[in-house]
Structures are given as structure tokens and as C-alpha cells.
A and B are shown apart, each in its own frame.
Chain A
């Protein structure tokens, strides 16, 4: 193995899927969506990621299928490039460098080799323009895209605010309360604006716009929940619009069905509304979608639609408004107060999810396991309403106990609840054991379990620290009351305080004998048996920000980080300061499996990582400029099996993996593997050729269809699927004769089959050519192997040569077809 050059920061957990509307592939088998800097290809039927296409240096803002080749995809990004991908193989075909930020991307079938992008207007802030960009047909991979021509000025930056009309005849842009329609052929710009004063209560700003696929009709969504359907907008004065109103709050997105007969809308209500025609009375609903709908997109055949939700989820919905699949990413919570906690049982990362929920995210498989509804209250969407949410979470060492603190923010007094959950193995679920109302009179700042092996369950201790200047020790007690079912419950054992200072952090030593609690500037160390104050440490000035004990060989040290940028290490035996370093530490995280401690500092707009052992003041690993964002939280996650790390420098990553969360809610980790190793998909070694020579029926139909398509293409027509009826006169006859005069099905079947049979010479030449091409790709590899087997076969006597059978598909197929002809179809009449 090659020694890796350096640690790489790798994103995991997937970025927000909300950068752009998702796109279905032409056959509706795959779903493409922008996710951070990547474009992801999902399989619709299995929810699995098929491909992850990376290459953009910044957020991907738009993805569109190449209208001239359905296997290709354009993607635009804030880094100023448009990339053309072959998404089935995940290969980057071309890169067009534009130079300025690209905020949205649109393609049109009629526009020959140009795409439309939204770019910021030069020299003006917060002003954008829609430009058409000519994609030059150069030879190389990297091309310049400089031929820009402005189409519309003063457009909005959101991709939902621009839409192209049927056949690309016009473009619509909305901004605030004005609607602009630009007709390409007539070069005419019509402007319509709504009066802001007209509506009472809500504002009627535009929130999204879509165009009818076949008619001249524009649908706009508004911030007050109304949908307007505009017609006759060719005239400046005589335009008309009708209003559909169901949503009570902003309409986040709209989508027309392929034929334009149905309109889908979604908003914060998490309800997908389907409007039939233009009457507001006919509508269907798909409620309870879980979270607000952000984007809606339809597949090109109209069979599926998908909604992107604010909780980083994609829901795939059938055309008859039945929920079909959902793809869930890491939920980005607004504020992760719980920190990153590792569940010892599932080895999943636990953090805030939806308000009141706790999400369990499996890092090994990079997917969400489940989320646990801790608060169990109805989520009410209302601006300014304070939801009660989880603020602290702690697991006991084996994961049998879970302690959660929920807080509903009130102005004067926080309403606090401490809940202790027991993992009930029988039911395989957490069960509420004890609920404590108002455990502290003010916010709880920290909480920890005594991290001992739970041999005797009574050794379990939970400590909470609060801003009400006390820390409380909770222990398990056996219930004396025989009536109650539970045998144990929790109760307070000790309340400690120190000079009326606010308690900020708490931490148990590895053996559980000592408890360190920091009170503003002072760290106090308590004996966990008698709750005596043993000693205090102080390193003025500045409050203590984080504390932790050393582990294993370094268990006699206590580490603390202060506000004033000091990292201090105290020796518990001598009660003296061992060493201190000037470092603005924001995160201090000990590794549970080794004596290493990771400290992340934040200085001059960059985060740096320091890994050290408490017994020596020199860090064993330093990585400056870890990332540009501020790192808020970190966690060591134990690996399943120790990783083989060749370099001495990275030995601290052997047993556990370090994850961190930045203030932009990105989950990152450090990887020693080189880029190639990580990215080389193991599945690549098995390039199984797709060959499904399935039922004779489908073979026949497939051939028919293929021929039809060929003819259509020759004639220059677009492929329309529903043309099968005029295939043969017999079929036509069969379909057009009234059912009551038809003979029995068993009689008809032979005629039907016969009519579908193709005579020998009709096998088209193109097909043969196709097959040859397919074979030739593999020929290089196979030829050698085949030679080898051939020689082997000569050597060994009892082997059979089988190559010939598969070589002549036409003969065998014919045989099979004849067999079908002779088959007994009397069973059909039973139906």
C-alpha cells in the first residue's frame, strides 16, 4: 500500500438535496438530483445511490437533461462552470467555463446548442440577468463558454422564478410583484404587475412560476398561498387570470403534468395538492408528507413525480397520488444543540433532527437509520412559534439508558423536561422510565452519564449542570411500591453548588471515581462516592469552555479550555498545572478508545485540528486550515475493525474515526485513504452485461416496437409509444370486433400468435449490426479467455462444448416460437 500523503477532509452524510429541482431520466428509472457539490443518481425502484458525480468546486445550482441526448446531463454550479455528464456511467464529458456565478440553468429542445443561465449582473449587487449561452463544439474536455447574450434583465436569482413556455416560444420571469413575459420570435416583452395593496393581510409576492406544456398558460404561486393561472398574456391589457386558493401559506413550488391537465402544488403544509383543470373545486390531496415541500418535479412520461422536502428527503409519488418511495438524507436541523453523540448500541451518530426528534444516522452505510420522536407533540407550523426541542442527549456506556432534555423556549422561564428512557429489548424500542419536570430552574448546560461498564446497574449515575448554579446527581433507585410495574426509577441524590457560580460543564473520569464540574472560571473535582469537594482548579482569566479527563495511561490529567484562549492540563495527583498552551479551542473531544484528545481551534477564519496526548504538551498531529467554516462539534466514532494505517502520523485514527460538524451543517470526516481508493467502486470489477432474453412474448413485442421505432426515426417523426394498434390487420380486427361476437379465446390465441410472428427475412440489418457492436466492446477481454477454454476443452474429455447453442439465437428462437404455436391454449378459455 502506498503511504498516503496527507489526511483528506471528506464530506459525508450528503449535503442538502435542495439546490435544484430533481430530474427524472427519460425512462423514469433514475432520479438525478443536485446535492451540494455533487450530482447524485438514484435508482427509483431501490432508493439506492447509483452514481455520485463530483467535479464541481461549489454548490450545484441546476441540473437539466440534455434535450438532444437523454443519457446526458448538464449541471451548473456557483463555481462558474457547466458540466456535461454521461450519468449512466458517471463520466464527465465536457466542462464549459463561464466565469461568473451560475445561479440557475435551463435547457430548451428547440435551442440548438445553447442553454440559458442566470448570472449576476456586472457592477450591480443583487441584480441578475438571464442569458443564453452558446455551448461551443470544441474537441477537448475543457471549453470556454463566452458567447453570452442577455435575454432578460432584472430577474430573480431563484431557479423557480423563471420558466419557459411551450416549445420555447416565450420565457416568463417573476420578481416580487411583477411578471415579465418575453416572446422570442416577436421580441416582445410584456410586463404585468400585481398591486401590493390589493390583498389584505398577506403579501402577494410571486414565489414560483411554471408554464403549461401545450397551451399558452402560466401558473404562478404566491406568498399568500394563492395560485394564479394567467392567459391571454400576449396582450398587454386584455390579459386574464383565474385564482386557485387552498394553501394557507406560501406556495413553494408548482408543476404541470406532462399533458398539462393537472397541476401539482406544494407548500409548508406538507400536502401535495393536485388541481384538475382550472376549477378550484376539483382537487386531490396527498397529505402527511412529513415536512414542507420545497420542489416538485415530474417525470417525462408522467408516471412519477417527486417532491424535495426541507428535511433533506426526496419522496417519489405515483401518478395516482400514491406515495411510493422516499430517500432520506441527513436532516439538517437549524441548530444542533444536542451535539454529536454516538449510540453505543447501533454505532450510529445521534443528533437533532426534525424539531423534537432525534435522528440516528448510520455512518457505515451513510444513511439515516431512524428518527426517534422524543417530544411527542404535534408540530405546528407558525412563524415565530417556539417549538420545544431537544437540547441535550446522553447515552449510558452500553446504550441501555438514554437521557434527553427538552426545552421549550419561553422568554422568561425555560420549560425543561428531563426524560430517562430505557432500551426495552423485548419490544426493541426505547421506553420512558422517568420524566422529571423542571430538573433545573434555568437552562441545562451539560449532562453526562458515569461512563462505567454497567455491571452493577446501580452504579449508573447521571449528572446535569444548570445555569441555576447547581449540578444535580441522579441515581437509579429501586421502587418500593409494589403496585407499580417498574422496578427502577430515577431520583435525585445530590445537589452541589460552588459559590453560586453557574455550572457549565461536567465530566466523569474514566474509572468513574471523580466528577469534574466547571463553574464559570473554576473547575471543581468531586468524589463520586461521598460527593465531597476534592479540589479546585482555576486558570484566570476567562470562563471554562470545555473540560475532559485523560484516559488510559493519562487518566491522571484533566484538560480544560478557557474562553481566553488557553488550553490547560492539570495533574490530579499533584493538583498543579502541568502545562498550558495558548490556543483558542472551540471543540475538545477525547477519543473513548485511546488517550488521544482532539482539539479544534478557530483562529482568523479557519479551523485547525490538534491531536495530543495529555502527558506531553507537544501535539502529535497538527492540521492547520482544516476547513474554512467554523467547526462546532466533533465526535470520535469507534471503528468496527481497526484500520490498517501505515503512517506513524495517523495512528490516532486507527481505532476511531473523527467526525465534525461545521456551522453550515456539513458533516465531515478525516480519511487517510487516497481519493482513488475511496472512489474506486468495488462493483466495477463486475461489469455484468445486461442481457435479459426473457419471455418469448416480450421478445416479440420488443422486436415489433423496435422496428416501429426504426421506421419512425427514418421518417423523422418523434417516437410515440401508443402506436401499436395498427401493427397488423389481425390484431386490429381482434381489437375492433365487439366482444360478444368474438369466438372463444383459445381459438383466437393461435391466430393472434401467428399474426405476431415475423417471417425469417424480416430481421432487420440494423439489429444485427447493433449486436455486433455490443459484442465488439467485450471482444478484447473475452477473446483470450475463450481461447484458453477452448484448449482446455480439448484436453479434458468429459466436458461438453456449449458455445454453439448460444451463437444462433435466431434458430433457437424460431424453435421456441414454433413450440408456442403448437401449445395448447385451451386454458385461456377458463378465464
Chain B
């Protein structure tokens, strides 16, 4: 079975019409790859659609129609840049339907021209003529205004399969097996071209004017045209010459399979190559770029082949090819509109052309794109994909905001890493140090548990063993933490800090445990840390992390304060409500006040308590923080809620 007929709308390819094997005509919007509408001809099963042609839209106005009619039309306010909306549909029983895609209804039916399958329909560019050819060996010229046959003549001894109108509109190419060039005025054969063994399936003019401008141009001589035939893997290019001798093809293009859809860009300039896109039956697209000038004996191979395949990761492991159904060049000649997938629901995509690569395989997950829906979508809302594995950056995570560092810090970082490497102690020295440490620990403490923890920790840090580290770092006992930190070797402090920083970024629960470790590290090893020359980059991350965590504390404590006032007020009013039963004098007001004061006093105490609790958790800046918190609470109670933001973000 032949490929289903399909066609792009002229001027901009805004719409794509295709007729499926079920006889329905579907019009797709190329920009959104969305079904615009569907038309079912009344006899879609018996009289299936065999060919399609959009009426030409174009800036060229017919010069003959400058009558009073045109004047009338000028006064009309027309639509904005809407292209022609008439689609001619040839059917298998010989009738031609004219369908309006704007109105969505059948405009007229051209009957009585053919009594066999219509093979090709072509619109004349300028006038409203339609040409059709059929299996009944005839070519018919229609007047679409009156829907009548203007002229009918025998085109070939066999069926006529293809038509093409010359760029100037005065000649017509028709093809069965041989290609004939007709003069449209006299309906006489002007030239014959022979060479195809099978019936020709596509005809197309590739140039609008001859390449050598030396001779005067009569509208047809010197032009090239292209033809492809069924079961033929060669596309031939022919030239119309003034002498009648040469009848063979000028050159040919090889493709991998029978061509089913051909589109080309017509070059205006001599140097600009003709770009040709050929879709083959095997679903591949071949792109040729060639400057047409004279003979070329060898068949040309494609500059670029485009294939589409499914990714094939999950489920089926082998990628499957996705057939390309049609392709058209966009107006900028740099990008292609590709139609691929199922004929019932094709996907239309704009691909920018890159012919530097000879073979392009586009991977498209059509299962994801495709969704068989019978109902049209109500709104055009698309939901972009949000996977679970997207990276989330929250304040405090590295990468959210960098440490304020000196320029070219990257280099310095590397240097820093190298420096300790150079001054690194030998293994022997290190072992010695370890030994000393261990012996030290063993003699005075006599606490085997903490001792083993310190060793374990060092081992864990060196081997980066998560299991050991988890075991050690998840201890909550204050004593053990203190002892372990005190007994660990000096060189393990920085790695431990880095490990703690990493763990702080994670779960807030684990952070509360890590804070204890941090606290004891800072209290025990503060002197060591202050001697480090690269302290700022080493601790920058930790600093930022804590800053971002502490940022909301002020607000939280403010909220806490307010809530506390509320709660105490409620409590107080309840006590007040109890009181009025006893005496109901105006003194109540004062009592109310006093109770409130009491409440706020309570709150202050409570807040202090909470701050103290917090003190235990946080290890740094605790004194100032808590003081300031107290201050804020006090201020708030005094009704002065305008706080100046604390300026604690100075560098260390």
C-alpha cells in the first residue's frame, strides 16, 4: 500500500493535512503538534483519499482579476495573514473534493471529470485552476469557481500518476512512465523525457530561473526538475533544453528506499545550493545540498541522513526506529519540520538543520509524548516534567551561595590542598604520633570505651568508612563526646570538622547530634584551629551553614514571644473570669493589667529558659545571641517591635 497522502500548507507550513488509512482527513497544527480538526468524507471508506493539495497562498495577485470584484474586496476587512484554506482531495472513485479548513466543511465536489482513481491534484499558482490526473489516462483542468471541467485531454497511454506546473504557470509536467511537458495554452506536448521504468510518483521543479543568465529566458528553457518513481531508489533531475535531442536525466540522487515525500528549497541565487529533503519508505530522511549546473554522471549520495529512534532504556532494551512521515523546510531554509511516529497521531517537530554531520539519529521518547486521547484538551496547559532526582539547593547547602572568597580562589584551593601534602609527615612519624596518643590515652584514662572511640573515629575518618563514622558520631553521651574529641590526634581535627559539616547539611535530627560534637571540637581544639592559616576557607562553609540556620531564629523567637503572650493572656482572662463572680467592680481592670504583667514576667522567664536550652544545642555566639534574644523579648513587651537586624555576619 502506498504511503498515506499528506501535505503541508503553503507559506509557512502552519498546518499539516494527512489522510489516514481509515479515510479520515486530519489537519494538524505544526506549531503545537496538535490536532486542529478532523473531517470524515461521506464516502470515506469506498472513496478513500488518494492525494491532497493545498490551494496556493501567495502574494501574487492574479492580474486578470482587477475588475470591479477586486474593488469590492478591498473594502472588506479581512483576516490577518491567513493562508488559503482550501484543500483539494482526490479520491479513489474519481471525484475531487474541495474542503475548507477554516470553515471545517466541504466546499464543493468536482464530479464528472474522472471515472477512475485520481492520482494527483495540483493547483495553478495564479488562477483558480485545478489540474488532476487519473488512472483513466486523462488530465483534467477544472474551473474551481464554477466547479466544472474546463478541459480534458488524454495524457498518456497508461495511467497518469503525477503532475507539476511550471514556475511561470504556462507549462505542465505530467508523468506516467514517461514524463511529458505540456503547453497549457495549446495542450500540446512540448517535450518528452524517458528514463523511469516504473510510474513516477513525484515531480517537482527545482529552479525558477536558469542558472546561466546569458540567454534570454522564455519561462521554461533551462529549468531543472526532479522526479522520483515508485520502487525506485533514484531521484532523477532533468533539464529542459532548447534542443530536443537530450532526453536523459542530468543527474540523480540515491536514497535508501522508495521516496514517499519530497520537499526542496528553491535557490534564488546562483551560488546557493538547492536543498532537498527526501523521506523514504523506510522512514529515513535524506538531505541533499547541491548546486545544479549541468551533468553529473555519478549518482549523488545524501549529505545528511536523519533517523529517529526510541531511547529504549526502560522495559524494552532495544531502541526502535520511529518512521519519519514527512518533512518540509521552514521559511528560513535552515530548519526542518519533521513529522514522525504513527500516522494516526504524528508528532511534528521543528529541527534546526546541521548538515555537517552525515548521519543524525534523533532519540525521541514517543511513548511519553504520545497520549491517545479522544477528547481534545480543554486548555493548552502543559506540565513540565519534575523528577524526584532534581537537585534542590536550600540556604546552607554548598552551591547555594559561595563563601566570600578572594578572587581566583579555585587555584588557591588547589594550592592549599597541595601544601599539606608537601609538609605531610611520613607514615612512620604518623604511626609514632598515633602510638604516643594511644599510650597516653591508655595510661591515664583507663576508659576503654572512649579510647576505642577516638581510635575508631580516626580510622573512620582516614578510611572514610560511613559505618564506623555512624557508629561513633551517633553517640549522644556528652562525656563520651568530650573525651573522644580530647583524645583524638590533632591532624584528625580538620577532617572531622569537614565530616561534621557534611552531616550538618542533612537531616535536622542528625544536626542536633552533630552540634554536640562541633561544640566540643571548638572548645577543645580552639587554639589549634586559630593557628591554621587557611581557617577561613576551611570553616567558611560551616559558617554559612550556621548563619543560614540561625537566620530564622530571630523570627521564631519573636513568634514564640507573641504566642506566649497570647497564651498567658488567655490563661489570665480565664482567671479573670473566675474572679468576676466574686466581685464585679471596676477594679477588675487593674487586676487584669497586673495579671498581664505577671504573664509577661512568666514569659520572660520561659524565654530565658528556652534560650538556655538552645545554648546547649548551639555552640557558637551563644552568649551574645541569648542576650540579644532577651533584649528583643523585652523590647517587644514594651511594645517596641521595631528591631534592628543584628549585624553578625562579619567575617571571622
B145, B390, B401: the one contacting A778 at CB < 8 Å is B145
Determine if A493 is an interface residue (Cβ-Cβ < 8 Å): yes
Determine if A432 is an interface residue (Cβ-Cβ < 8 Å): yes
Give chain A residues whose Cβ lies under 8 Å from the Cβ of B98: 688
B332, B362, B384: the one contacting A430 at CB < 8 Å is B384
Q: Judging by beta carbons under 8 Å apart, are A326 and B400 in contact?
A: no
**Interface 1/0 per residue, B95-110 and A, CB below 8 Å:** 0001011111111110
Closest chain A residue to B109 by CB distance? Answer: A692
Instruction: Tell me which residues from 785 to 831 in chain A have a Cβ below 8 Å from any Cβ of chain B.
Output: 785, 789, 792-793, 795-796, 798-800, 802-803, 805-806
Determine if B154 is an interface residue (Cβ-Cβ < 8 Å): yes
Determine if B73 is an interface residue (Cβ-Cβ < 8 Å): yes
Q: Judging by beta carbons under 8 Å apart, are A46 and B36 in contact?
A: yes
Determine if A646 is an interface residue (Cβ-Cβ < 8 Å): no
Give chain B residues whose Cβ lies under 8 Å from the Cβ of A44: 104
Give chain A residues whose Cβ lies under 8 Å from the Cβ of B188: 796
Q: Judging by beta carbons under 8 Å apart, are A432 and B378 in contact?
A: no
Determine if B523 is an interface residue (Cβ-Cβ < 8 Å): no
Q: Judging by beta carbons under 8 Å apart, are A640 and B332 in contact?
A: yes
Determine if B463 is an interface residue (Cβ-Cβ < 8 Å): no
**Interface 1/0 per residue, A532-575 and B, CB below 8 Å:** 10000000000000000000000000000000000000000000
Q: Judging by beta carbons under 8 Å apart, are A683 and B391 in contact?
A: no
Give chain B residues whose Cβ lies under 8 Å from the Cβ of A494: 402
CB distance from A316 to the nearest CB of B (A): 11
B146, B391, B401: the one contacting A435 at CB < 8 Å is B391
Determine if B79 is an interface residue (Cβ-Cβ < 8 Å): yes
Closest chain A residue to B351 by CB distance? Answer: A425
A681 and B109 in contact (CB under 8 A), knowing A370-B381, A531-B407, A686-B55?
no
Q: Judging by beta carbons under 8 Å apart, are A678 and B80 in contact?
A: yes
A806 and B107 in contact (CB under 8 A), knowing A477-B399, A495-B404, A685-B65?
no
Closest chain B residue to A10 by CB distance? Answer: B80
Determine if B508 is an interface residue (Cβ-Cβ < 8 Å): no
Determine if B226 is an interface residue (Cβ-Cβ < 8 Å): no
Determine if A429 is an interface residue (Cβ-Cβ < 8 Å): yes
B145, B148, B153, B362: the one contacting A687 at CB < 8 Å is B145
Contacting chain A: which of B193-201, B363-371, B491-499? B363-371
Instruction: Tell me which residues from 52 to 69 in chain B have a Cβ below 8 Å from any Cβ of chain A.
Output: 55, 57-59, 61-62, 65, 67, 69
Q: Judging by beta carbons under 8 Å apart, are A326 and B391 in contact?
A: no
Q: Judging by beta carbons under 8 Å apart, are A45 and B390 in contact?
A: no
CB distance from A233 to the nearest CB of B (A): 38
Give chain B residues whose Cβ lies under 8 Å from the Cβ of A530: 407-408
A49 and B82 in contact (CB under 8 A), knowing A313-B379, A427-B385, A802-B149?
yes
Determine the distance from Cα of A326 to Cα of B402 in the docked complex, in whole angstroms: 49
A357, A489, A641: the one contacting B391 at CB < 8 Å is A489
Give chain B residues whose Cβ lies under 8 Å from the Cβ of A780: 67
Determine if B539 is an interface residue (Cβ-Cβ < 8 Å): no
Q: Judging by beta carbons under 8 Å apart, are A370 and B400 in contact?
A: no
Q: Judging by beta carbons under 8 Å apart, are A789 and B391 in contact?
A: no
A-B contact count (CB 8 A): 311
Closest chain A residue to B141 by CB distance? Answer: A789
Determine if B596 is an interface residue (Cβ-Cβ < 8 Å): no
A805 and B77 in contact (CB under 8 A), knowing A435-B391, A683-B57, A778-B145?
no
Determine if B1 is an interface residue (Cβ-Cβ < 8 Å): no
Determine the distance from Cα of A754 to Cα of B321 in the docked complex, in whole angstroms: 57
Q: Judging by beta carbons under 8 Å apart, are A371 and B380 in contact?
A: yes
Q: Judging by beta carbons under 8 Å apart, are A682 and B112 in contact?
A: no
Q: Judging by beta carbons under 8 Å apart, are B382 and A429 in contact?
A: yes
Closest chain A residue to B43 by CB distance? Answer: A695
Q: Judging by beta carbons under 8 Å apart, are B187 and A799 in contact?
A: yes
A290 and B37 in contact (CB under 8 A), knowing A52-B79, A434-B393?
no
Determine the distance from Cα of A170 to Cα of B145 in the docked complex, in whole angstroms: 49
Determine if A35 is an interface residue (Cβ-Cβ < 8 Å): no
Give chain B residues whose Cβ lies under 8 Å from the Cβ of A346: 31, 350
CB distance from B407 to the nearest CB of A (A): 6
Q: Judging by beta carbons under 8 Å apart, are B144 and A288 in contact?
A: no
Determine if B12 is an interface residue (Cβ-Cβ < 8 Å): yes
Determine if B74 is an interface residue (Cβ-Cβ < 8 Å): yes
Give chain A residues whose Cβ lies under 8 Å from the Cβ of B350: 345-346
Closest chain A residue to B393 by CB distance? Answer: A436
Determine if A373 is an interface residue (Cβ-Cβ < 8 Å): yes
B69, B78, B185, B368: the one contacting A681 at CB < 8 Å is B78
Q: Judging by beta carbons under 8 Å apart, are B82 and A679 in contact?
A: no
Between A426, A489, A641, A695, the greatest number of chain B beta carbons within 10 A of the residue's beta carbon is seen for: A426
A491 and B400 in contact (CB under 8 A), knowing A427-B385, A688-B107, A789-B151?
yes
Q: Judging by beta carbons under 8 Å apart, are B187 and A371 in contact?
A: no
Determine if A424 is an interface residue (Cβ-Cβ < 8 Å): yes
Q: Judging by beta carbons under 8 Å apart, are B382 and A680 in contact?
A: no
CB distance from B138 to the nearest CB of A (A): 9
Q: Judging by beta carbons under 8 Å apart, are B390 and A799 in contact?
A: no
A683 and B381 in contact (CB under 8 A), knowing A432-B387, A640-B332?
no
Number of residues in A with C-beta < 8 Å to the partner?
118
Q: Judging by beta carbons under 8 Å apart, are A688 and B399 in contact?
A: no
Contacting chain B: which of A186-194, A360-368, A386-394, A600-608? A360-368
Determine the distance from Cα of A473 to Cα of B498 in the docked complex, in whole angstroms: 25
Interface majority SS on B: helix, strand, loop or mixed? loop
B79, B150, B154, B368: the one contacting A49 at CB < 8 Å is B79
Number of residues in B with C-beta < 8 Å to the partner?
102
CB distance from A390 to the nearest CB of B (A): 13
Q: Judging by beta carbons under 8 Å apart, are B78 and A365 in contact?
A: no
B102, B387, B394: the one contacting A431 at CB < 8 Å is B387
Determine if B143 is an interface residue (Cβ-Cβ < 8 Å): yes
Determine if A437 is an interface residue (Cβ-Cβ < 8 Å): yes
Determine if B438 is an interface residue (Cβ-Cβ < 8 Å): no
Q: Judging by beta carbons under 8 Å apart, are A691 and B104 in contact?
A: no
CB distance from B37 to the nearest CB of A (A): 5
Determine if B336 is an interface residue (Cβ-Cβ < 8 Å): no
Give chain B residues whose Cβ lies under 8 Å from the Cβ of A694: 42, 106, 109
Determine if A277 is an interface residue (Cβ-Cβ < 8 Å): no
Give chain A residues whose Cβ lies under 8 Å from the Cβ of B515: none
Determine if A693 is an interface residue (Cβ-Cβ < 8 Å): yes
Determine if A55 is an interface residue (Cβ-Cβ < 8 Å): yes
Q: Judging by beta carbons under 8 Å apart, are A682 and B80 in contact?
A: no
Closest chain A residue to B147 by CB distance? Answer: A691
CB distance from B412 to the nearest CB of A (A): 13
Give chain A residues whose Cβ lies under 8 Å from the Cβ of B631: none
Closest chain B residue to A497 by CB distance? Answer: B404
Q: Judging by beta carbons under 8 Å apart, are B381 and A373 in contact?
A: yes
B386, B387, B407: the one contacting A376 at CB < 8 Å is B386
A91, A428, A792: the one contacting B364 at CB < 8 Å is A428
Determine the distance from Cα of A746 to Cα of B603 in the docked complex, in whole angstroms: 97
Determine if A731 is an interface residue (Cβ-Cβ < 8 Å): no
**Interface 1/0 per residue, B272-303 and A, CB below 8 Å:** 00000000000000000000000000000000
Determine if A442 is an interface residue (Cβ-Cβ < 8 Å): no
Q: Judging by beta carbons under 8 Å apart, are A43 and B32 in contact?
A: no
Give chain B residues whose Cβ lies under 8 Å from the Cβ of A631: none
Determine if A50 is an interface residue (Cβ-Cβ < 8 Å): yes
Q: Judging by beta carbons under 8 Å apart, are B384 and A43 in contact?
A: no
Determine if B347 is an interface residue (Cβ-Cβ < 8 Å): yes
Determine if B389 is an interface residue (Cβ-Cβ < 8 Å): yes
Give chain B residues whose Cβ lies under 8 Å from the Cβ of A532: 407
**Interface 1/0 per residue, B26-58 and A, CB below 8 Å:** 000101100011000010000000000001011
Determine the distance from Cα of A29 to Cα of B105 in the docked complex, in whole angstroms: 10
A91, A325, A484: the one contacting B75 at CB < 8 Å is A91
Q: Judging by beta carbons under 8 Å apart, are B387 and A802 in contact?
A: no
Between B79, B101, B376, B398, the greatest number of chain A beta carbons within 10 A of the residue's beta carbon is seen for: B79
Having A428-B364, A495-B401, A799-B153, one finds 20 other A-B pairs with CB under 8 Å, namely: A12-B80, A52-B77, A52-B79, A326-B376, A365-B31, A373-B382, A428-B347, A429-B385, A433-B391, A435-B391, A437-B395, A491-B398, A531-B407, A640-B12, A681-B76, A689-B108, A781-B67, A785-B143, A800-B153, A802-B152
Listed by A's residue number, 8 A-B pairs whose Cβ atoms lie within 8 Å are A362-B31, A364-B12, A366-B81, A372-B381, A436-B400, A690-B107, A798-B154, A802-B113
